[in-house]
Amino acid sequence: MTDKITGLKFEDVLIESLPYIRDFSESIMVIKVGGNAMMGPEAAANLMDEIVQDIVLLHFVGIKTIVVHGGGPEINEKMEKMGKTPKFIGGLRVTDDDTLEIATMVLVGNINTKMVSLINKYGGKGVGLNGVDANLIQAKKKRTQKIVVDGNEEDVDIGWVGETEIINPKLLRIMIENGYIPVISPVAAEKKGHMLNINADTVAGDVAAALGAKKLIMMTDISGVLRDVKDKTSRISKIEISEIDKMIDDEIITGGMIPKIRGAEVAVRSGVEGVHIINGSTPHSLLLELFTDIGVGTMIYKKEEGEEE
C-alpha cells in the first residue's frame, strides 16, 4: 500500500520514521492547530479527529506535546449567526467588546473542550487551559498596531487584543512531565483583569520559546509559504530567518501569514530548532512533516555560524 502524499510505501514510511522518532523522543513540541486547518475548504468532516489522533500518537512515541489552538473561522461563523460582521485590518482581527465575548465563548467553551475530549477519547490525558489559568500568560493590551494598509504603514487600534509579556511555563512543565497534554486557548487578562484576545500564532511561538521546545508546528489551511499563492506547487520548503523581512517587503509573505512567520521568528531566535508551517487539511500532515525525509510544509530555521546553505 502506498501513501498518496509522499508516494512511499507504508512500510518504507515506518522504517524512514525510526531515526526521527529516536531523535524526538523526550523532546518538547508545541502544536498550533489553526481554525482554518480544521474548517478550511479542503477540511474533511472528521479532520479534528485525525489531527488529535496524530497528536496523541506523538505523545505515545515519547514526545512531550503541548497544543495551542485558534478558532478564527468558528468565531466568524458564530458572529455572523448573531448578526455581527467580523472586521480585519492587515490580517488581524479587530476585537470590540461583543467580539471579545464571542471569541472567549467559542475558544474556551467550545473548541478547547472539544479538543480535550478527543484527546481523552484516543487514550491521551488532555487538560484544557487558557492564559488566565495559574497566570499562565501575562499580557497587556496592544495600544496600537503597525499594519500595512494599501501599501502604507499605519498605527491602528485593533481593540481588546493583547500581546504576551511573560509566559509562566512551570504549570506546563509539571503537566508534560506527568504525562498530560495541555491544550491552550489564546485568551488572557491584563493586570486590571480585562480579558484579551491574543493571536494564537504569537502565543504558540512564545510558549515554544519559553519551554525551549525542539519544534513548533503550525497547522493551517495552506501547505506552508507559497512563492505564488495561485500555484500550490510553488511551496518554499525552507526559509532562513534573515530572509523574512525581504519576503514580507516583496509580498511573498502577506496578510495572515505575517503573524505566523513573526511568531516562528521569535521562537527560532529563542532557541527552537525549527518551526514548520503545514496544511492541516492534508491527512496526517503532522506525521509526514516530522517523520519523513520529504516533508510537506515550510520550515523556518536559523543558520548556525559557519553553516552552509
Residue 176 lies in a domain: yes
| pTM exceeds 0.85, yes or no | yes
Euclidean distance between CA atoms 47 and 222, whole angstroms: 15
Confidence bin at 149 (pLDDT 50/70/90) = low
pLDDT of 110: 92
Question: Given its phi and psi angles, is residue 256 left (phi above 0), alpha (psi -120 to 50 degrees) or beta?
Answer: alpha
Residue 143 lies in a domain: yes
Cell numbers found for residue 279: 496544511
Percent of the chain with pLDDT over 70: 90
Q: Is 197 annotated as a binding residue?
A: yes
CB 35 within 8 A of CB 73: yes
Residue 308 lies in a domain: no
Residue 307 lies in a domain: no
Residue 49 lies in a domain: yes
Total tally of structural domains belonging to the chain: 1
The mean pLDDT of the chain is 88
Tell me if residue 137 falls in helix, strand or coil.
strand
Q: Is 112 annotated as a binding residue?
A: no
Average pLDDT for 68-95: 88
Q: Is 93 annotated as a binding residue?
A: yes
Residue 12 lies in a domain: no
Residue 243 lies in a domain: yes
Euclidean distance between CA atoms 290 and 299, whole angstroms: 11
Residue 134 lies in a domain: yes
Average pLDDT for 88-103: 87
Euclidean distance between CA atoms 295 and 284, whole angstroms: 11
Least confident stretch, 114-118, 142-146, 222-226, 303-307: 303-307
For position 164, which CATH number holds? 3.40.1160.10
Helix axis angle, 200-211 to 257-269, nearest 10° = 10
Domain that residue 89 falls in: 27-299
Q: Give tens-digit pLDDT for 162-189.
A: 999 999 999 999 999 999 999 999 999 9
Q: Is 262 annotated as a binding residue?
A: no
